[in-house]
A = this chain, B = another copy of it.
């Protein structure tokens, strides 16, 4: 599939991951001299060095960037001044090599926390990466940013704005430490649309609100969450806020983000199922959101889903301690279209039929509160033995 014009990428094995030949370093470059950039970052007070530096660079360049250097295998978090220095040396070396300003280079890292990141293996590989830059390397980038991910996550969308073809491409990673606002993840998006930085930032924020901010795996918000979008403008399609072009671009960006976000939820550590929690007819949007998130984060609900056990008591119980206002005696609960609870009471359903619904690889748990008009949804996954296996010995 065609990728956005103006972008090239490359990936290599720099030896940051333990496995010597594993891809762990990638470079994304824009060939357009004026490339808009926007970013959203973790809300964790313990922000990794690359988050600190990329945030600063985006601010100093007023939303202009030409390159992204990303590594996996080491989060460069809780690494103090040396960590920040390693990130800075990386941006400086890449800038010099590519003929950009250091502030036009953004960095991101994912992997283990608290282990010093040595810059040398990265600096040594930058010329190699530059040599192998190509328009067809998005797949390799998606692979190079994986940690406990079981599959590479990428997506390309093609649309038309004012008669011109516009492309949106994204790669993402994320599997554990996934929690809304925002999920523990990296995501890099490129587009050949022409979008001013401040508009790009606004559109990104809206798209993330209904995609990456709606997934949760384990309720842990990481130190490294980063989502970056670069717009080369090479398609000549100009996106303006409040216009039809803005609406169309927003729809595409949102679809791209939602696709990648659902891939992350589906690939939750140890997960076998993609679960949508939908709450409708709540008194307020905040209440609907609170209930959906609380259910999506309940270990008891998630283990019941893993066991295909239609144990709706845990679902209404989680709603009950969410802090939202509702009358339990009015609640209906469904799994897919199958009713389990009517007006707060067991609907007298066929347990094995319900269990078959819960056995599906994708399922929706829906609560109709019969209280008001607000609704919310969130994507999550089941909690299985493999989550424990993966995380009890992540570093060993």
A contacts, CB < 8 Å to B: 43-47, 75, 77-80, 112-116, 176-177, 179, 218-223, 297-300, 303-304, 306-307, 309, 311-314, 316-321, 324-326, 328-329, 341, 344-346, 383-385, 387-389, 391-396
CA distance A307 to B393 in the complex (A): 6
Chain A contact residues: over half helix, strand or loop, or mixed? loop
Partner of A313, one of B113, B219, B221, B329: B113
How many identical chains are in the complex? 2
Say yes or no: A317 contacts B113, CB within 8 Å.
Answer: yes
Closest B residue to A111 by beta carbon equals: B313
Say yes or no: B220 contacts A298, CB within 8 Å.
Answer: yes
A113 to chain B, nearest CB (A): 2
CA distance A249 to B289 in the complex (A): 44
Contacts of A319 in B (CB 8 A): 45-46
Partner of A307, one of B45, B75, B392: B392
Say yes or no: A326 contacts B45, CB within 8 Å.
Answer: yes
Name which of A320, A344, A385 has the most chain B CB atoms within 10 A of its CB: A320
Closest B residue to A319 by beta carbon equals: B46
Contacts of A307 in B (CB 8 A): 391-393, 396
Closest B residue to A340 by beta carbon equals: B114
Say yes or no: A114 contacts B312, CB within 8 Å.
Answer: yes
Q: Could you name 23 residue pairs across A and B whose Cβ atoms are closer than 8 Å?
A: A43-B321, A44-B317, A44-B321, A45-B320, A46-B316, A46-B319, A46-B320, A80-B329, A113-B313, A218-B300, A219-B297, A219-B299, A220-B300, A220-B321, A221-B321, A223-B320, A303-B387, A303-B392, A304-B394, A307-B391, A385-B388, A387-B388, A388-B388
